[in-house]
Amino acid sequence: MNRRQDLVEKVIFDGYDFGVLMQYVEGANRLFLERNGFYIRRAEHPQHRYWRLPKGKLLDDLDVLFHRLMELSEDRFNESWETFSHKITAAQNDPDRQAFTWGLTFRIAPLAQGGILLSGDYHPGAVAVSRRMHGVFLGHSKSWRIDAGAEVVRSNLILELGLSEDQFEILDTVQELLTDGSVVPADEITRISLGGPPQERVAKAADDSTSTDVYLAAVPSIERTGFTTEQINQALAGYSLLDHQPAGIRHLLQRTSALLADDMGLGKTRQAIIAAAIRAADRPILVITLSTLIINWQREIQMVYPEATIGQQAFDPSSQWIITNYERLGDFVLHAGHFDVMIIDEAHRLKEPTAAWTRHGFDIAAKIPNRYLLTGTPVLNRESELHTLLRLSGHPVGKLPLKEFCEQFAGSQDFRINLRDAIGDWMLRRRKDVLPGLKGKQRQTLPVELTAEERKQYDQIRLEDRPSLARLGSLRQLLEQVKVRVVMDLLCELDAEDKVILFCEFKDTVGTLRTRCKQAEYGCVTVVGSDSVGKRQKAIDQFQSDPETRVFAATTSAAGTGNNLTAANYVMFLGLPWTPGLQDQAEDRAYRNGQLRMVVVKIPLVENTIDQMLWQMLRDKRQLASDLIEPDAIASARSELSASL
């Protein structure tokens, strides 16, 4: 007779966490997850298939866990309480400090006022070392500020965890205090109120070992370069450019860092490529963009420089151009000194100073002498977002602490005008009126009434006893589905040569539109976030070139930036993005250079719902951004008022 297998094959312990390797038992994963367990899925991990559990969570009710496992296994395995507890005790008596250190990396950077900043992968042993060294945890950036030298911190971690030296990145870029976390944004923007049951807020316990300080690498100050206008004009003699583009190239070349904030569709990519190539003079160039736009950048570089050597998403010292996405920036921190020019496309992605890619972006920028920032939407929600970009460039205004910056430049229209004047030499922005061929863009809102059944469903969701954000998401999804019938009616009114982009916030709505278009025999392609880059590009190419493909349905997050969809002369929003910048970016997939027709934007808004509040919030944010970045917004408003009087 065959002997039954043991339930638990092996137990390991590193002094902080247990690792349990056991037979498959249906329902056991729930027991481990309830105890903050983590299943190691990576096949290359030495502890592949182990459950990793914190010591306290496992030992607190070990007997309960054992009996529940035996109930679930229905006595199929050979295990008793004595053998089970013995395996746990044996592991405790023979700890392996390297049990869970495979793949860990830590980053140590010096602070301007002394000490270091420690960040990287989580391990309870690293937390213990940081606490023993009287470190302060910086909650926003998930790092530790420790008053000690880099070598001392590294040595203590090696002694505690048995790490190797190649598991550390020791940076020489000095980190400066950006903010102490005390800045509260001014409340000038319409808020969305749902009503319904009040939700309790959970108060955070005070802890002397935590802080809201945020640190970023110190970036060199902007300097004027030696390029004269005459030299630049001579360098541009062989290029085919639109009338407004030489000025944009000059703006970048005459400064070591600058922001090109042209409207979408004016060719920021082409201008930056030419400026970078002239400035680099055959030295390496790093381009940072969205993962979905890497192909676009490669094509654009090859159109200007057919012989260029281009690498993608990995460091290659033989390539003159390397294009990578924000998520991969950490791989380039130690190679930053290799590059002469850094182009940061969609630079507003770095507005959040606590994001890992922002921290990595600053570490890289600190080592690269020339930094060109590109975005048509430098301000999405509030003035403080511009502070991060100014700091990344090395602008004097960006070197102000965030609190002082907000006190001087945020909270009123007059303050914002002062800020616009202060950064006028750094930021160049042109609107689409520099393109004489464009026929214009017209934005129309359409009132929509809910049916009695839809109103009942809306109110039911609105008044549910759930957190407000959860209810808000459900309401937005419901309203998108309501607008499907409205949009399908609008499609019937289009002429045969018209094409339309349908933007949604939810993937399910895109699926519904695809089904309805197929039923109505409209040629339709779709793009959602889970689509591969190749699949997205195929959909874009088909929409642009195939007369029978008249509908492009997509989520705004997946297709609202960077793509050229000038075959469309209609844009419709079933759901609105949270910022006017994202809305403008989405609209301007159609309204850009190469568009030969008037672009009509239709925005259905459901009466007496959150739609009106969201629309007003977007209008408030649009006014804030206009004060900061539109060169003649104030003068235009005054002229209109004067004329009306």
**What's residue 637's pLDDT?**
39
Quote the CA–CA distance of 250 and 239 in Å, as a whole number: 14
**What's residue 585's pLDDT?**
86
**What's residue 431's pLDDT?**
81
Quickly tell me which residue has 């390496």 as its tokens: 284
**What's residue 185's pLDDT?**
47
**Is the Cβ–Cβ distance between 374 and 269 less than 8 Å?**
yes
Query: Is the fold of 106-172 the same as that of 217-232+245-430?
Result: no
Question: How confident is the model over 518-569, as pLDDT tens digits?
Answer: 999 999 999 998 888 889 999 999 999 999 999 999 999 888 887 889 999 9
Phi, psi at residue 52, to the nearest 5°? Answer: -100, 125
- Angle at which helices 533-545 and 294-304 pack, to 10 degrees? 60
Quote the CA–CA distance of 36 and 29 in Å, as a whole number: 11
**Is the Cβ–Cβ distance between 544 and 566 less than 8 Å?**
yes
pLDDT classification of 207: cutoffs 50, 70, 90: low
Domain boundaries, the chain: 8-93, 106-172, 217-232+245-430, 439-641
Q: Hey, what amino acid is at 197?
A: P
Average pLDDT, the chain: 86
Quote the CA–CA distance of 116 and 108 in Å, as a whole number: 6
Question: How confident is the model over 396-428, as pLDDT tens digits?
Answer: 988 888 888 888 887 777 777 788 888 888 999
**What's residue 275's pLDDT?**
96
Question: How confident is the model over 272-286, as pLDDT tens digits?
Answer: 999 999 999 999 999
In CATH, what class is 217-232+245-430? Answer: alpha beta
Task: For residue 296, give every residue at least 6 positions away whose Cβ sits within 8 Å of its Cβ, in sequence order, or none.
Answer: 269, 289, 562, 563
**What's residue 114's pLDDT?**
86
Question: How confident is the model over 584-619, as pLDDT tens digits?
Answer: 889 889 888 888 888 889 999 998 999 988 888 888
Q: How far apart, in Å, do the first and last CA atoms of the chain sit? A: 101
Quote the CA–CA distance of 620 and 631 in Å, as a whole number: 18
**pLDDT higher at 137 or 200:** 137
On the CB side of 498, CA atoms within 13 Å amount to 16
Q: Hey, what amino acid is at 77?
A: F
In CATH, what class is 106-172? Answer: alpha beta
Strands 143-146 and 136-138: antiparallel
Quickly tell me which residue has 């312990």 as its tokens: 13
Instruction: Retrieve residue 415's tokens.
Output: 């303050």
Quote the CA–CA distance of 608 and 615 in Å, as a whole number: 12
Question: How confident is the model over 112-170, as pLDDT tens digits?
Answer: 888 889 998 999 999 999 999 989 898 877 889 999 888 889 888 998 898 888 899 88
- Whether residue 639 is predicted with pLDDT greater than 60 in this model: the reply is no
Question: How confident is the model over 66-81, as pLDDT tens digits?
Answer: 999 988 988 788 888 9
| Rg of the chain in Å (alpha carbons) | 28
* Total-model pTM: 0.68
- Whether residue 510 is predicted with pLDDT greater than 70 in this model: the reply is yes
Quote the CA–CA distance of 256 and 395 in Å, as a whole number: 10
**Is the Cβ–Cβ distance between 297 and 623 less than 8 Å?**
no
pLDDT classification of 186: cutoffs 50, 70, 90: very low
In sequence order, which ranges of 503-552 are alpha helices (DSSP H)? 507-519, 533-545
- Whether residue 212 is predicted with pLDDT greater than 90 in this model: the reply is no
**Is the Cβ–Cβ distance between 475 and 610 less than 8 Å?**
yes
**What's residue 380's pLDDT?**
61
**What's residue 483's pLDDT?**
94
**What's residue 401's pLDDT?**
82
Burial of 266 (0-12, 13-18, 19+ CB in 10 A): buried
pLDDT classification of 458: cutoffs 50, 70, 90: very high
Quote the CA–CA distance of 148 and 133 in Å, as a whole number: 8
- Whether residue 390 is predicted with pLDDT greater than 50 in this model: the reply is yes
* CATH architecture of structural domain 439-641: 3-Layer(aba) Sandwich (3.40)
Question: How confident is the model over 298-342, as pLDDT tens digits?
Answer: 989 999 999 999 999 999 999 999 999 999 998 999 899 999 999
